[in-house]
Amino acid sequence: MSSECLPLEVNGVVKRYRQGSSVIEALRGVQLTIRPGQFIAIMGASGSGKSTLLHVMAGLTDVDAGQVLVDGRDLGNLSDAQLTSFRRDHIGLVFQAFNLIPALSAEDNIRLPAIDGPELSPKVNALLDRLGMSERRTHKPGALSGGEQQRIAIARALICDPAVVLADEPTGSLDSVSGQEICQLLRELCDEQGRTIVIVTHEPHVAMWADRVVVLKDGANLTEFAPSGKRDAQELALSYQSAFSPVAEASR
Q: Which residues bind ligand ATP (CB under 6 A)?
A: 17, 19, 24, 26, 44, 46-52
Shortest distance in whole angstroms from residue 48 CB to ligand ATP: 4
Decide whether 46 or 251 has the Cβ nearer to ligand ATP: 46
C-alpha closest to that of 40 among 8, 68, 67, 12: 8
Contacts by 50-56 with C-beta closer than 8 Å and gap 24+? Answer: 50/168, 50/200, 50/216, 51/168, 51/200, 52/15, 52/26, 52/27, 52/219, 53/10, 53/13, 53/27, 53/200, 53/216, 54/166, 54/168, 54/198, 54/200, 56/10, 56/13, 56/15, 56/27
Residue 231 CB: number of other CB atoms within 10 A? 8
Decide whether 26 or 197 has the Cβ nearer to ligand ATP: 26
Decide whether 107 or 168 has the Cβ nearer to ligand ATP: 168
Decide whether 160 or 237 has the Cβ nearer to ligand ATP: 237
Which is it for strands 164-168 and 196-200: parallel, antiparallel or unpaired?
parallel
Rounded Cα distance between 208 and 83, Å, is 32
Residue 1 CB: number of other CB atoms within 10 A? 11
Shortest distance in whole angstroms from residue 93 CB to ligand ATP: 15
Rounded Cα distance between 126 and 139, Å, is 17
Decide whether 44 or 92 has the Cβ nearer to ligand ATP: 44
Decide whether 50 or 136 has the Cβ nearer to ligand ATP: 50
Shortest distance in whole angstroms from residue 242 CB to ligand ATP: 19
Shortest distance in whole angstroms from residue 187 CB to ligand ATP: 22
Shortest distance in whole angstroms from residue 143 CB to ligand ATP: 29
Shortest distance in whole angstroms from residue 116 CB to ligand ATP: 33
